[in-house]
Structure 1
């Protein structure tokens, strides 16, 4: 996403402001949600729901200002796709994936889709690897069992943040 800002600054300066604001929103809401989820195992709707229109408006404006209609379509489809993927996981194992994670996935999908489908796949892979490693370490340290629940939101945010840093 940082690379996208640099490229837009040179090619389409009007697109820089909404993209920078979207990135700032990711950092603020991501940090808040990761902290809350780590402590309470909850991703509050009062933070998640308003983030949807804000992210769509900012990312969509950046895409439109840059004339990148593919990014607008991709961010929409990626948000729906990641939401649907997490929803399927929740339906298969409701105790393994919470609805808060499902709701957060749609937003993260928009950010990742703005860049590319590859960013979406990379973030998903990194998220599950981080969550899996954490789970194994918790079991090895005897702080959890295979049946223990772990807050997955922080790993979703870290995985997405890491993918957003990767150049496209």
Structure 2
């Protein structure tokens, strides 16, 4: 885990202030499919705060290296994906596909510059494994896992696999655990029923964040 200088914290906050309003509008427009939709002040503030924390966390974990560019992009994309999925239970390909491409390119550049070819290979294998297993689950139980979730798991496999197999396993486990706890809480409070469709993207993203935080601590 890299030491995070005050300048990096300041840069994260400034980037969040600059990008937060745009990402909040993008989230609303993707959710509503209305290019003229605007974000509320509360959504804008929450998006900026979450983005600042995510960017600072990436810098804390990876430091300054080529792979960091891809991880920063993935962090911003994760904020948008979580917001859209919470609103309309959908993970737009317009966010997932470009993010996977940017992350893959950044990891390839990192390998070319720093020689992290083993990590790159592991990331590719992890992405394929996560996508393949999730696709199998989606085919067996379409109501339990949508193909938006499958593609998100492939993306998270790429990121977590680059860190290590332990991070991937921890991310999937923590994502499933988070989803189960949220479902139980909603059932207990009467805000959802046994047949209610719940978004699975946000728990997966939370699990990935927790796994990366644990990887940095270790």
Confirm or deny a common fold (TM above 0.5): yes
* Structure 1: distance between partners of 2:80 and 2:2: 21
Deviation string, structure 1 residues 108-163 (Cα, Å, up to 9, x no partner):
10000101000000000100000000001111111111111110101111111111
Does 2:84 align with 1:36? yes
> Which of 64, 67, 83 lines up with 2:131 in the alignment?
83
Structure 1 equivalent of residue 196 of structure 2: 148
Does 2:82 align with 1:47? no
TM-score (norm 1): 0.89
> Which of 129, 149, 166 lines up with 1:118 in the alignment?
166
Higher relative contact order (CA 8 A, sep 6+): 1
Structure 2 equivalent of residue 130 of structure 1: 178
> Which of 107, 121, 132 lines up with 1:59 in the alignment?
107
Structure 1 position 49, deviation (Å): 1.2
Structure 2 equivalent of residue 102 of structure 1: 150
From the superposition, tell whether residues 7 and 100 of structure 1 become closer, same or farther in structure 2 (CA, over 3 Å): closer
TM-score (norm 2): 0.69
> Runs of 4 or more off by more than 4 Å in structure 1?
1-9
Does the aligned pair in 1 maintain the 2:71–2:103 contact within 8 Å?
no
The total of aligned residue pairs comes to 162
Structure 1 equivalent of residue 69 of structure 2: 21
Structure 2 equivalent of residue 165 of structure 1: 213
Cα RMSD of the aligned pairs, angstroms, is 2.0
Give the match's secondary structure for 2:197.
coil
From the superposition, tell whether residues 7 and 67 of structure 1 become closer, same or farther in structure 2 (CA, over 3 Å): farther
* Structure 2: distance between partners of 1:8 and 1:48: 22
Structure 2 unaligned regions, length at least 5: 4-57
- Which protein has the larger Cα radius of gyration, Structure 1 or Structure 2? 2
* Structure 2: distance between partners of 1:109 and 1:68: 17
Give the match's secondary structure for 2:204.
helix
Structure 1 unaligned regions, length at least 5: 10-15
